[in-house]
Structures are given as structure tokens and as C-alpha cells.
Amino acid sequence: MLTINIICIGKLKESYLRDAQAEYQKRLGAFCKLNIIELNESKLPNDPSDAQIQKGMEIESQAILSKLKGYIVPMCIEGKILSSEDLATKMNEVSLNGTSEISFVIGGSFGLSNEVKQKADFKLSMSKMTFPHQLARIMLLEQVYRGFQINSNGKYHK
């Protein structure tokens, strides 16, 4: 069974997001082993300098790098935009090539460091639009679930 790791910076603050995450965790249990790894967000002042942002991202980067396993997929704006079907195909290909783990990485509000991005096997973008990283986690969970449904010819994907 494929293991999906969602490595993310910060915790879900709103109950509706935690509820959505719990629902997708339940649904995904039929298809994979799901690990959601929440790492601490760097505390920055309200109006951080570029140096403070870089230092915060460096601290987050070290925590992320220590958790990376398997096929590494950072979520970043410069990544490739895939359709749901293409993501399903990518997940299937990774699994068929003998990799038992996929680690999706969602950075904090300032994104991911270049060091994390350089570890990528594949960089993925959800859109050219910008989303809050907490919402991006739910969107990613939904797309991973949809991908499994597509690959198993389930009725969820229309």
C-alpha cells in the first residue's frame, strides 16, 4: 500500500479546515497510509525584513528536510500544473516504479526554500493563483483522494 506524506508548516487553526482534513483522512484510509506531518511555523514579526524571512525559511527548511522520504513533491508556484487525471497518472507511475512513499511538501506563508525545492523529484503547482497554505492542504488532500478514485475507476470523479 502506498504511503502518502503531507509535510506541512503550521497547524490548521479553523475547525472547518480540521473537519475537512479529518474527512479526507478517513476517505484516504481505503487507498493508502496517510501521514500528515505538521511542523512548527517560524515566528516572525508583523513586518519582517528579508533577512528575517530568509532565517525563518531556513529554520523551516531544516525541519522539512529531516522528514523527506520517498518521491519528493514540493508544492510551489513554479511547479507544473496538472489536471486531476494527470496527477492520478503521476501517482500511479510513482507507485509502479517501485516507490512506496510520496511526500508532498507545503511551505509556510513565505513558501519553501530553494534547498527544499532542489530535493524535488517533481515540483507541483495547484494554480497560478495564490492560496493560503492551510487551504492548500485541504485542496491537496482532495486531489490525492480524487487521484486514487480515478485510478480505481471510482464514481467520485466525474
Please write the tens of the pLDDT for every residue from 73-100.
Answer: 999 999 999 999 999 999 999 999 989 9
Alpha helices (H) in 5-132, listed in sequence order: 15-28, 50-65, 84-96, 114-118
Domains in the chain and their CATH numbers? 3-151 (3.40.1280.10)
SS3 71: strand
pLDDT band, residue 156 (cuts 50/70/90): confident
What local confidence, expressed as pLDDT, does residue 157 receive?
A: 62
> Kindly report the CA angle at 144 between 40 and 6, in degrees rounded to 5?
15
pLDDT band, residue 109 (cuts 50/70/90): confident
What local confidence, expressed as pLDDT, does residue 155 receive?
A: 83
Give the tens place of pLDDT for each residue, 47-63.
Answer: 889 999 999 999 999 99
pLDDT value at 40 more than 80: yes
Residue 114's Cα: distance from chain center in Å?
16
Q: How far apart are CA 2 and CA 144, in angstroms?
A: 12
SS3 76: strand
Give the tens place of pLDDT for each residue, 6-18.
Answer: 999 999 999 999 9
Give the DSSP H/E element, type plus range, for residue 34: strand 33-39
